[in-house]
Amino acid sequence: MKKKLNIGLVGYGFMGRTHSNAYRKVGNFFDLKYEPVLKAVCARNEQNAKAFADTWGYQSVETDWRKLVQRDDIDVIDICTPNNTHAEIALAAAAAGKMILCEKPLSMNGPEGLKMVKAIEKAGVPNMVWYNYRRVPAVTMAKQLIDEGRLGRIFHYRAKFLQDWTISADLPQGGQALWRLDIKAAGSGVTGDLLAHCIDTAVWLNGSLEKVSAMTETFIKERTHTLTGKVEKVGIDDACTFMGRFNNGSLATFESTRYARGHKALYTLEINGEHASIAWDLHDLHRLQYFDHRDQSNLRGWRSIHVTDGDHPYMGKWWVPGLQIGYEHTFVHQVADFVEALGKRKPAAPTFRDALETQYVCDSVLKSAKTGRWEKVPKSK
């Protein structure tokens, strides 16, 4: 008989859906000791929360997250709310001794993140941040190949996250649907929303960044604010590029934007090592590109690996070779890993502290964009 893991979800937006789906599915595909139970969903708008609960099978509804956090029948608080609410909820949940799963980015900035880290570490509760792209099988496999030493000395790491959905000047900012465009709710623009993903993966794959030099731009300077109905200054960064150096001596080139016409969610990464290189992109997330210089010289070429075999990470749990999985499965994998780690009383990465490092990099990036100078990344560990 499996133990129950009672989930209390705060927020029911896009991420609320991906998480709920993950909780519901994970047990069908992974043999785990704990069974996530959709105990409660919490949102200020009761009607919407009830509709969401109905669709996904949540057993109850709360309209005040403070109440949710105090409920005895909740084991895990899952924070899916806008960035400016993460800290307050997490601190309360930690104080209540709950496990905490928090959407990324961890916080509005590094200092706020550090407070959260200290709180959960003091409380000693299991915690994790939803940097889901680590769990794309192709990306997990990249990690394996790097850890096996196949690439040798690393020279370059480059990543981009290109979107094009905010090009229209008519798009408003703020409110439930567009809080990501509101500096007060989001903390930053593409830096926290997109680059944070790239940074999390990079640090995982290639180690810490030592210093960065960045450039940001806000192409559309004013937008109507959904909540006030007035044209207001846009505070977020529409695009952010940075160069950097990793501790291992390799060079970093990062870019993100919401103004790259033709790209919906093109997260790409490439690592060039002495012996081999790896490339991946989110638009074909089921493939890993791999080049190995040790191949016979006339037969060297980039291999397009269709990561759908039983011996590829996570894929033995799904279908048969050749049949691809998609975006949502990364969340299932993350739940599976969290639950498995829980059974072993081990942390599941990325923890709050892991995510703090990404926060520090983001802070340094935004600072450099203002100072026009190189900025050191503070140590998070």
State which of positions 204-233 bind its own copies (CB under 8 A).
213-215, 217, 219
Instruction: Tell me the window of 42-50, 175-183, 236-244, 344-352 that interacts with its own copies (CB under 8 A).
Output: 236-244
Our CB check for its own copies shows the closer of 172 and 273 to be 273
CA distances from 256 to 78, 238, 318 (A): 27, 8, 32
Is residue 190 close enough to count as binding its own copies by CB under 8 A?
no
Binding segment (CB under 8 A) for its own copies, from list 83-91, 192-200, 202-210, 263-271: 263-271
For the segment 107-136, give every residue that binds its own copies (CB under 8 A).
Answer: none
User: Smallest gap, in angstroms, from Cβ of residue 108 to its own copies?
Assistant: 23
Site for its own copies in 82-111 (CB under 8 A): none
Q: Which residue in 6, 10, 200 sits closest to 102, CA to CA?
A: 10
How far apart are CB 238 and its own copies at their closest, in Å? 8
Q: Which stretch binds its own copies (CB under 8 A): 18-26, 93-101, 193-201, 344-352?
A: 18-26
Beta bridge pairs of residue 133: none
Under the binding rule (CB under 8 A), the answer on residue 241 touching its own copies is yes
The three-point CA angle 90-131-343 to 5° equals 70
Q: Measured between alpha carbons, how far is 310 from 113 in angstroms, rounded to an integer? A: 38
CB of 258 to its own copies, least distance (A): 10
CB of 354 to its own copies, least distance (A): 24
Burial class (CB in 10 A: 0-12, 13-18, 19+), 253: middle
Mark the segment that binds its own copies (CB under 8 A) among 67-75, 181-189, 250-258, 357-365: 250-258
CB 163, min distance to its own copies, A: 7
The helix (H) or strand (E) run that includes residue 365 is: helix 352-371
- 269's enclosing H/E stretch is strand 266-273
Contact between 243 and its own copies per CB under 8 A: yes
Amino acid at 240: C
Among 3, 73, 274, 343, binds its own copies (CB under 8 A): 274
**Interface with its own copies includes 326 (CB under 8 A)?**
yes
Number of residues that bind its own copies (CB under 8 A): 89
- Which among 35, 94, 3, 116 is positioned nearest to 335, based on CA atoms? 35
The contact pattern for its own copies, residues 294-313, with x = CB under 8 A and - = no contact, is: -x-xxxxxxxxxx-xx-xx-
As given in the structure block, the two tokens for residue 131 are 């940097």
CA atoms within 13 A on the CB side of 258: 22
Close Cβ partners of 273 (under 8 Å, ≥ 6 residues apart): 146, 150, 151, 152, 153, 154, 155
Residues 27 to 66: which contact its own copies by CB under 8 A? 27-28, 55-56
Near its own copies by CB under 8 A: residue from 18, 107, 140, 188? 18
14 binds its own copies (CB under 8 A): yes
Q: Which residues pair with 34 in a beta bridge?
A: 3
Which of 72, 170, 229, 320 is in the footprint of its own copies by CB under 8 A? 320
Identify the burial level of 47 via C-beta atoms within 10 angstroms of its C-beta, where 0-12 means exposed, 13-18 middle and 19 or more buried.
Answer: exposed
Residue 171 binding its own copies, by CB under 8 A: no
